[in-house]
C-alpha cells in the first residue's frame, strides 16, 4: 500500500483528500500520514497523525525522519491558512517559511513526488489580465493581500527548488475559488450571504470550481505522476452579476471609495489586509485556462454556474435541517 | 413602501446588468446583443449614415484579423465596425473588437463594452479568439490613436510593434485592412487635460465642443457621416507561423498594412459628401 503524507490536515483540501485517499477498504487505498499542529478529530483512526510545527526551525529533520520511517512516496502540501489571520508575520512564518522547511525535509528524504495546493489568485486580479490565464503567465499577485503574497513567494521558491532537485516531480495545483455543499472557506462564507456586496460599476467574469471536481484533480495528482503547474478550475467563466442573479442572490453594488469604509464587512475574508485586497478580486478578472488540467485530470463535471447553483442549493437546504 | 421597494431593486441592479441566456467565455451577451441590435442598426444607418466601400472584398466566412484606424475615446468605431461586419457576413459570426487596457479599468464602461463583444487587446486573447474561429477587430494604433486631438484627425499613428501581423501569422488567418472615416468627428477633442484625469483612471480628460460643458449629454456622439472602406486582404500566402519570428518581415508587413489603411482612409474621406451632411 503506497503511503502519502499530507500537511495541513484541517484545511479543506487536506482533510477531504485524506478521506478520499484512504478509500475505506478499497484495495487501491493509500496509507495516509498526517502532519499538522492539532489532531484532526474527523480523521481519528484513519490517518497516522504526527504532530509537527512547520514554523519550528528544527522541523525539517523531524519531518525527514518521519517521511523515511513511514516510507512516504508522495507529499501533499496544503498547510496554508484557510482563514488568513490578522497576524501577517505569523502567516508568513507558516506559509512561506513552513514550505521552505518542508522542502528541506523532502530533499533529505528524497521524496519522489510533491503536490502543492496553490490558488489562481497568485496571477492577481488586474484590468489588464488576458481573458484566460495560462500556467506560464507571470504571477503578479496582489500587493496588499498577504496570503496571496505568500503563495507567490512559495511558488517562486518551488520553481527554484525544482531546478535544483530534478529527481522530485513537483505538481502545483492552482485552484480557483472552490464552492460546494461542504466547503467552508472565506469565499463560500462571502457568497453565502443573501445580499452579496459587489463593487459598483464593475462586473468581472468569475470562475468557480465545484469541490468534487477540485478534489478529483487533487486525487489524480496524487495517484498518478503529473509534474508541472496546473490551473484546477471549473468550466467557463460567468460575469459576477449573472452568477449571483441566476442563483437568486442579490448583488449589492457599493461604490469603490466607500468600500474602504466598509472595511469590516469582509473582515473574515481579508483579515489583516485592507479591503481592496479582497475586493480587487471582485473588481477585475483573474480567470485561468484549465485545459492543461482537464487533459491531465479529466474534464471538470460542473460549469462555474452549475457549481454555484449546487452551492446555493445546499446552503438553502441547510436552513431547513 | 412601493417606492422603497422600487428604489431597492433599482439600487440593487445599478451598474450590474440584467443578464440572462447565453454568455460566452469572453463575456459577450448574445441576448443583450439581440436586444440592442435595433439600436445599433439605428446608429449605423440613421445616426451615422455609414456607407460601405468595397464591401465585396470582405471574405464571406472564416476567421480573420480585421485591422482598422482607431479614433475617439469611446470604442464606437470598434462596436460599429463589428456590427457592420456581422451584417455583411453573418456566416462569420459576431466579430470581437479589441479594447485598450485603460478602458477595461473604467467602471460602468468596462461591463458595457465587454457585454457587446469588447475584449482586452492582448496577443493571448486575440490568438484564442482566432483559434476558436472568430473574427477579431484590432486597432494597432492603440491609445495613441484614441488620444488624437481634432486637428490631428485621420493621421495614422505608429502601428504598435507589429503585434497584429505576428498574431495573424501565428494563427494563419488573413489580415483585412479597413479605414473608418467619421469616428473622429463623433467626439472632436479640442484639447486634453491630463492633470485631474489621472485620478479618475483616464489617460486624459477630453474637452470637446459639448463635453464637459453639457454634462453627460455632452458625451453623446455627434451625428457625423461615416464611411467604412474595406481593403483587399493582405497577402500572407506562403508565409507560416515561423515567419512571425522574422522581425524584418514583420515590420515590412506592418508598414504595408499601415500604408493600405492610410490609403483607405483617404479614399473614404474623398467619398464622403461632407462631415455632417
DSSP B47: I
**Torsion over CA: A124, A128, A132, A133 (sign):** negative
The DSSP call for residue B44 is I
Q: How far is A272 from chain B (nearest CA, A)?
A: 26
Tell me which residue of A13, A171, A179 sits closest to A80, measured CA to CA.
Answer: A13
B17 Cβ under 8 Å from any chain A Cβ: yes
Residue B72, number of CB atoms within 10 A of its CB = 22
Q: Edge-to-edge strand order for the sheet containing A113-119?
A: A48-51, A31-36, A3-7, A74-77, A113-119, A169-175, A228-232
Region of poorest pLDDT, from A102-111, A232-241, B68-77, B204-213: B204-213
Q: H or E segment at B98?
A: strand B96-99
Report the pLDDT averaged over residues A160-165: 96
Which residues in chain A have their CB less than 8 angstroms from residue B30's CB?
none
pLDDT value at residue B7: 63
In chain B, positions 86-125, which contact chain A (CB-CB < 8 Å)? 101-102, 104-105, 107-108, 110-111, 114, 119-120, 122, 124-125
* Residue-wise pLDDT tens digits, B90-108: 988 899 999 988 888 888 8
Return phi, psi of residue A115, to 5°. Answer: -120, 125
pLDDT of residue A266: 53
Burial category of A248 from C-beta neighbours within 10 Å (exposed 0-12, middle 13-18, buried 19 and up): exposed
CA atoms within 13 A on the CB side of B234: 29
With a pLDDT cut of 90, the percent of chain A lying above it is: 67
Cα end-to-end span (Å), chain B = 51
Contacts of B15 in chain A (CB under 8 A): 200-203, 253
Residues of A in contact with B105 (CB under 8 A): 127-128, 284
CB contact under 8 A, A130 and B120: yes
ipTM of the complex, rounded to two decimals: 0.83
- The alpha carbon of residue B273 is apart from the nearest alpha carbon of chain A, in Å, by 40
Q: What is the 3-state secondary structure (H, E, C) of chain A?
A: CCEEEEECCCCHHHHHHHHHHHCCCCCCCCEEEEEECCCCHHHCCCCEEEECCCCCCCHHHHHHHHHHHHCCCEEEECCCCCCCCCCHHHHHHHHHHHHHHHHHHHHHHCCCEEEEEEEHHHHCCCCCCCCCECCCCCCCCCCCCHHHHHHHHHHHHHHHHHHHCCCCEEEEEEECEEECCCCCCHHHHHHCCCEEEEECCCCCEECEEEHHHHHHHHHHHHHCCCCEEEEECCECCEEHHHHHHHCCCEEEEECHHHHCCCCCCCCCCCCCCCCHHHHHHHCCCCCECCHHHHHHHCCCCCEHHHHHHHHHHHHHHHHHC
The pLDDT value recorded for residue B15 is 46
Give the pairing type, strands B136-138 and B65-68: parallel
Count of C-beta atoms within a 10 Å radius of residue B137 = 27
CATH architecture entry for B51-189+222-270: 3-Layer(aba) Sandwich (3.40)
Least confident of A86-95, A235-244, B216-225: B216-225
pLDDT category at A161 given cuts 50, 70, 90 is: very high
What does residue A36 show for φ and ψ, rounded to 5 degrees?
-160, 175
Question: Residue A262's pLDDT band (boundaries 50, 70, 90)?
Answer: low
Radius of gyration of chain B (CA): 19
Contact between B12 and A250 using a beta-carbon 8 Å cutoff: yes
> Which burial class, exposed, middle or buried, applies to B149 when counting CB atoms under 10 A from its CB (0-12, 13-18, 19+)?
middle
Handedness of CA A276, A280, A282, A286 (dihedral sign): negative
On chain B, the residues whose CB falls within 8 A of the CB of A253 are 11-12, 14-16
- Do residues A139 and A122 make contact, with C-beta atoms less than 8 angstroms apart? yes
- What distance in Å separates residue B113's CA from the closest CA in chain A? 11
B46: exposed, middle or buried (Cβ count in 10 Å: 0-12, 13-18, 19+): exposed
CA distances to A127, A219, B113 from B122, rounded to whole Å, are 12, 35, 16
Q: Which of A130, A195, A256 to probe by mutation at the B interface, max B CB count within 10 Å?
A: A130
Q: Please answer yes or no on whether B25 and A132 come within 8 Å at the CB atom.
A: yes
Residue A24, pLDDT above cutoff 70: no
Contact B105, B201 (CB under 8 A): yes
User: How many other C-beta atoms can be found within 10 angstroms of the C-beta atom of residue B57?
Assistant: 14
Contact A64, A38 (CB under 8 A): no
- End-to-end CA distance of chain A: give it in Å, rounded: 39
Question: How many Cα atoms occupy the beta-carbon half-sphere of B168 within 13 Å?
Answer: 29
The DSSP-derived string for B148-211 is: --GGGTT-----TTSHHHHHHHHHT--EEEEEEESGGGTS---EEE-TTHHHHT-S-EEE-SST
B29 to chain A: closest CA residue: A239
- Which pLDDT value is given to residue B217? 73
- pLDDT value for B10: 55
What pLDDT digit, counting tens, does each position of A4-16 carry?
999 999 999 999 9
- Does B25 contact A at CB distance below 8 Å? yes
Do A134 and B11 count as a contact with CB atoms less than 8 A apart? no
Between CA B86 and CA B73 the distance in angstroms is 23
**Mean pLDDT (whole number) for A214-226:** 95
Query: pLDDT higher for A3 or A278?
Result: A3
Whole-number pLDDT of residue B226? 94
3-class secondary structure per residue, B132-157: CCCCEEECCCCHHHHCCCHHHCCCCC
* pLDDT band (50, 70, 90) for residue A265: low
Burial of B246 (0-12, 13-18, 19+ CB in 10 A): middle
Element (H, E) at B230: strand B227-230
Q: What is the mean pLDDT of residues A168-179?
A: 96
B119 chain-A contacts, CB cut-off 8 A = 131
All residues of chain B having their beta carbon less than 8 Å from the beta carbon of residue A250 are 12
Q: What is the pLDDT of residue B241?
A: 86
Q: Where are the domains of chain B?
A: 51-189+222-270
| pLDDT (average), residues A252-276 | 69
Looking at residue B8, its pLDDT comes to: 58
pLDDT averaged over consecutive 10-residue blocks of chain B (277 residues)?
A: 59 48 83 92 94 92 93 88 94 91 84 92 94 94 80 84 91 94 86 73 75 75 92 88 90 93 94 83
What is the Cα–Cα distance from B112 to B270, expressed in whole angstroms? 34
Q: What is the dihedral sign for C-alpha A222, A228, A231, A234?
A: negative
Amino acid at each position: 500500500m503506497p503511503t502519502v503524507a499530507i500537511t495541513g490536515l484541517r484545511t479543506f483540501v487536506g482533510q477531504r483528500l485524506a478521506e478520499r485517499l484512504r478509500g475505506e477498504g478499497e484495495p487501491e487505498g493509500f496509507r495516509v500520514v498526517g502532519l499538522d499542529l492539532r489532531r484532526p478529530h474527523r480523521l481519528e483512526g484513519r490517518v497516522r497523525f504526527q504532530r509537527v510545527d512547520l514554523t519550528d526551525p528544527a522541523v525539517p529533520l523531524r519531518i525527514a525522519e518521519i517521511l523515511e520511517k513511514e516510507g512516504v512516496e508522495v507529499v501533499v502540501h496544503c498547510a496554508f491558512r484557510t482563514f488568513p489571520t490578522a497576524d501577517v508575520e505569523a502567516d508568513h512564518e507558516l506559509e512561506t517559511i513552513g514550505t521552505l522547511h518542508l522542502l528541506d525535509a523532502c530533499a533529505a528524504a528524497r521524496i519522489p513526488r510533491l503536490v502543492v495546493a496553490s490558488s489562481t489568485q497568485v496571477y492577481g486580479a488586474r484590468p489588464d489580465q488576458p481573458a484566460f490565464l495560462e500556467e506560464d503567465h507571470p504571477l503578479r499577485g496582489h500587493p496588499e493581500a498577504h496570503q496571496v503574497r505568500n503563495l507567490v513567494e512559495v511558488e517562486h521558491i518551488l520553481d527554484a527548488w525544482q531546478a535544483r532537485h530534478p529527481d522530485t516531480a513537483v505538481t502545483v495545483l492552482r485552484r480557483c475559488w472552490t464552492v460546494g455543499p461542504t466547503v467552508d472557506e472565506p469565499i463560500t462564507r462571502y457568497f453565502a450571504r443573501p445580499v452579496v456586496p459587489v463593487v459598483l460599476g464593475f462586473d468581472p467574469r468569475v470562475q468557480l470550481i465545484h469541490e468534487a471536481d477540485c478534489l478529483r484533480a487533487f486525487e489524480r495528482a496524487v495517484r498518478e505522476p503529473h509534474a508541472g503547474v496546473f490551473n484546477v478550475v471549473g468550466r467557463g467563466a460567468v460575469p459576477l452579476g449573472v452568477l449571483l442573479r441566476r442563483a437568486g442572490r442579490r448583488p449589492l453594488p457599493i461604490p469603490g471609495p466607500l468600500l474602504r469604509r466598509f472595511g469590516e464587512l469582509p473582515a473574515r475574508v481579508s483579515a489583516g489586509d485592507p479591503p481592496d485586497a479582497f475586493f480587487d478580486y471582485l473588481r477585475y478578472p483573474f480567470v485561468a485556462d484549465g485545459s492543461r488540467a482537464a487533459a491531465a485530470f479529466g474534464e471538470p463535471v460542473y460549469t462555474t454556474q452549475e457549481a454555484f447553483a449546487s452551492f446555493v442549493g445546499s446552503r438553502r437546504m441547510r436552513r431547513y435541517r | 413602501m412601493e417606492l422603497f421597494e422600487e428604489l431597492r431593486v433599482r439600487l440593487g441592479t445599478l451598474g450590474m446588468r440584467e443578464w440572462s441566456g447565453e454568455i460566452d467565455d469572453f463575456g459577450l451577451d448574445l441576448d443583450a446583443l439581440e436586444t440592442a441590435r435595433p439600436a445599433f442598426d439605428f446608429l449605423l444607418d440613421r445616426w451615422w449614415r455609414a456607407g460601405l466601400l468595397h464591401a465585396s472584398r470582405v471574405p464571406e466566412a472564416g476567421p480573420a484579423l480585421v485591422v482598422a484606424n482607431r479614433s475617439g475615446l469611446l470604442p464606437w468605431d470598434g462596436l460599429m465596425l463589428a456590427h457592420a461586419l456581422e451584417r455583411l457576413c453573418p456566416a462569420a459570426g459576431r466579430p470581437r473588437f479589441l479594447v485598450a487596457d485603460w478602458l477595461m479599468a473604467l467602471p460602468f464602461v468596462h461591463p458595457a463594452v465587454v457585454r457587446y463583444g469588447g475584449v482586452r487587446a492582448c496577443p493571448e486573447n486575440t490568438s484564442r479568439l482566432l483559434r476558436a474561429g472568430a473574427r477579431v477587430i484590432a486597432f494597432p494604433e492603440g491609445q495613441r490613436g484614441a488620444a488624437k486631438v481634432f486637428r490631428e484627425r485621420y493621421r495614422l499613428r505608429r502601428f504598435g510593434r507589429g503585434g497584429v501581423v505576428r498574431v495573424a501569422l501565428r494563427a494563419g488567418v488573413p489580415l483585412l485592412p479597413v479605414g473608418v472615416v467619421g469616428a473622429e468627428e463623433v467626439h472632436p477633442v479640442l484639447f486634453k487635460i491630463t492633470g485631474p484625469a489621472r485620478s479618475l483612471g483616464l489617460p486624459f480628460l477630453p474637452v470637446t465642443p459639448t463635453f464637459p460643458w453639457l454634462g453627460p449629454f455632452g458625451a453623446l456622439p455627434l451625428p457625423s457621416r461615416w464611411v467604412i472602406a474595406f481593403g483587399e486582404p493582405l497577402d500572407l500566402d506562403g508565409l507560416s507561423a515561423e515567419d512571425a519570428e522574422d522581425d524584418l518581415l514583420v515590420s515590412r508587413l506592418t508598414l504595408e498594412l499601415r500604408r493600405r489603411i492610410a490609403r483607405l482612409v483617404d479614399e473614404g474621406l474623398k467619398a464622403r459628401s461632407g462631415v455632417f451632411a
